[in-house]
Amino acid sequence: MPTPPDPSVLYPEVAAHGSLAAALRAEAKGCLDAVPVTFPDSASLLHATVASTLPHREPLQISAWSHERRWSIRGTEPFQSMPLIDGTTDDLAEVARSARAWHDGAALDDIRRAAPFVHLTGRFEVPDHDPAHLTESEWQSMRQEAGELEYAWQETHQALIEAAHAEPALRALYPFTSHWALRFSTTTRPRLTPVGPRLAANSDGTYGVGRGPIGEDLGRFATANEAVAQAVRQLPSGLGPVTLGG
C-alpha cells in the first residue's frame, strides 16, 4: 500500500486552522461555537469528536481519510457501542451540520434530513436499555444491512435473515453474525451468550446449519425456510426472554 500523503496536503484548509475541530467550527459559521468539539493531540488534523446533550449517545466520531480527501462519521450508543448513524462525504459543511444535529439531540431521521450523506443503520435508540427493544433494534438493523449488501449472494443472505426473523422462536433471540453466519444469543451485547446452531447462506444458493462456528453438520438445505426449521428444532427448551449482556 502506498504511503499516504501528509494530511496538510489533502486538507490544506484544515491545516490552516490547526485542527479538524477548528476547521469544523469555521465551516459551521457559528453553529458549533457553543458545542464541545475535541481532538486528539497526536492526530488533530484527522480526528475530532462532538459531544451530545443526550446521555444515551456517545460523542460523534469524525475522521478524515488518509489516502483520499473524504470524511467519515460514526455515532454510537454507549451500552453496546453499536452505530446508530454513519456516513462519508467530501463536504465538511455537511459534517458540521450532522455534528450540530447529533449534539442537539435531533431525532435520527432529522439528522439525515439536516445532512443527507448520513446513513441510518436501522438501529433505534433504547435509552433504558430494555433488552427486548435492543433485540428488536438489532433485528431491524440486520434486516436493513442484508438488503443493502452488494455481494453476489446478497439475495440468498437476505432470504435467510428474513426467514429467521419470521420465525418467532428465533426472532425472540438476539441476532448477530460471525463470518457472515447468522447466530443467536440469549443476552445482548456487549457480552453475548450464543445459543443454538449457526445458519449460513452458501454461494451456490443453498443454506447450511451447523453446531460450531464453521461446518454444516446439521444439514444443507435448498431453501432458507428449511434451514430455519432445522435450526428451531435444535434450540434447547426452556429459553427465557433475552437479558442484558454485561
Half-sphere exposure of 132 (CA within 13 A, CB side): 2
pLDDT of 180 = 84
Q: Which of 210, 245, 213, 58 is nearest to 138 (CA)?
A: 245
pLDDT of 1 = 64
pLDDT of 212 = 79
Instruction: Please give the Cα distance from 28 to 20 (Å, whole number).
Output: 12
Instruction: Please give the Cα distance from 82 to 189 (Å, whole number).
Output: 9
Predicted TM-score (pTM) of this structure: 0.93
φ/ψ of residue 237, rounded to 5: -80, 160
pLDDT of 246 = 83
Angle made by CA atoms 57, 58, 60, in degrees to the nearest 5: 105
Question: One digit per residue, pLDDT tens: the chain, 246 residues?
Answer: 678 889 999 999 999 999 999 999 999 999 898 899 999 988 999 999 999 999 999 999 999 999 999 999 999 999 999 999 999 999 999 999 999 999 999 999 999 999 999 999 999 999 999 999 999 999 999 999 999 988 878 899 999 999 999 999 999 999 999 888 999 999 999 999 999 999 999 989 999 999 977 779 999 999 999 999 999 999 999 999 999 998
pLDDT of 140 = 98
Cβ atoms < 10 Å from Cβ of 74: 15
Instruction: Please give the Cα distance from 149 to 158 (Å, whole number).
Output: 9
